[in-house]
Structure 1
Amino acid sequence: MVNNSPWNCPYRKWFWVGCVTLLVSSGTLTERKRAEQKIAHLAHYDYLTDLPNRALFLDNLEHSLSLAKRNQYKVAAMFLDLDGFKKINDTLGHAAGDLLLQGVSKRLKQTIRTSDAVARVGGDEFTFVLNDIGADENASLVARKIITALSAPFDLDGQPSYVGASIGIAIYPDDAQNTEALVKQADEAMYLAKQSGKNTSRFYQEVQRNQSSQ
């Protein structure tokens, strides 16, 4: 009889189905959690290079400036634009361009200190926060180190390719007291670096001197 047979008991069949339902629900919740984590990650990190994006960079810079103000030290913001990227992207294609950006990002992360930060803020544009730099010249040394690191060829599916970097440097608190102004000034210094022959760096103070002499 059904009531006397544990193998044919309706509640056993119901329990088995219930287990499956629980497993499916658990899997659905896990997938949903992963999807939410991925969305949250993409809100703060670049999808191609996994570097912080502009929003997270500005948050990090603001935090760095708060610490610098409290502890009375200097912070450098650097703005880097690749030289020669468009030519590679146009001749070898967007897939090669993506590989190049990933390779560049890896070298940039390896070049700076763990206390500093790098972000991708545009197509071939990167920004940096250099904390507690001491003398301004130390920021220039980091810029030269970055330019040297990027000077070695990149292997793009067997095709050796080269890029350079124009870097602008702005110093807190000498050049600006807030994040937006500091990034803007580093950007202006980067354009001066491009006008000066590319593959070099310039301070925002040099932009000011150029403007005053005109």
Structure 2
Amino acid sequence: MGKEKIHINIMVIGHIDSGKSATIGYLIYKLGGIDKRVIERFKKETAEMDKRPFNFEAGSPKDGQTHEHALLGFTLGVKQMIFFYNKMDATTLKYSKARYDEIVKEVSSYLKKVGYNPKKILFIPISSFERDNIIEISTNLDWYKGPTLLEALDHINEPKRLSDKPLHLPLQDFYKIGGIETIPASSVETGVIKPGMVVTFGPPSLTTEVKYVEMNHEAL
């Protein structure tokens, strides 16, 4: 992953306590995406937590929302999907291929009804707790011959950029800096935006000039 790569937006969806944050957080951490100061702050908070009793969520909920999330993704225009089946270390028989096959069959059937082509979807068995198949192939899942989660993410196809269309920039949030600047947070769906352009937000049809554009705290 040494060369410069294209920027792709990824949506991680799944039921509560399915391990989304643990999986993606570990991935980002190992790839150097978390500032050392943030890590040190978390270490201090963890040390404080160790001084008082608390409970961990065990296992997965029975009534998940996998079907609803798949439909949501398709409705929002997600064209490419990677399905990772977490907590393989917590199945009745640890790292059970039979259980994995059962889940793949069930999920594939529903994804097809939603509109996806299951043959184009990678189904990756992982364990975020044991770090299995997230970055490196796990010997606990030696029956699995596919890519790791990182490898799968690395091969996502670049989406078609509609830069020749009129500017469409859905406003997601905004921030005020020092009570002077107002910085909108958004993603460019179509068209192009650059400093010096005059744009209009509506409603209420507010027109303003773009002073600068940043992505990941870097000027473009």
TM-score by length of 2: 0.26
Q: Where is the helix percentage greater, Structure 1 or Structure 2?
A: 1
TM-score by length of 1: 0.27
Q: Tell me which structure has the larger Cα radius of gyration.
A: 1
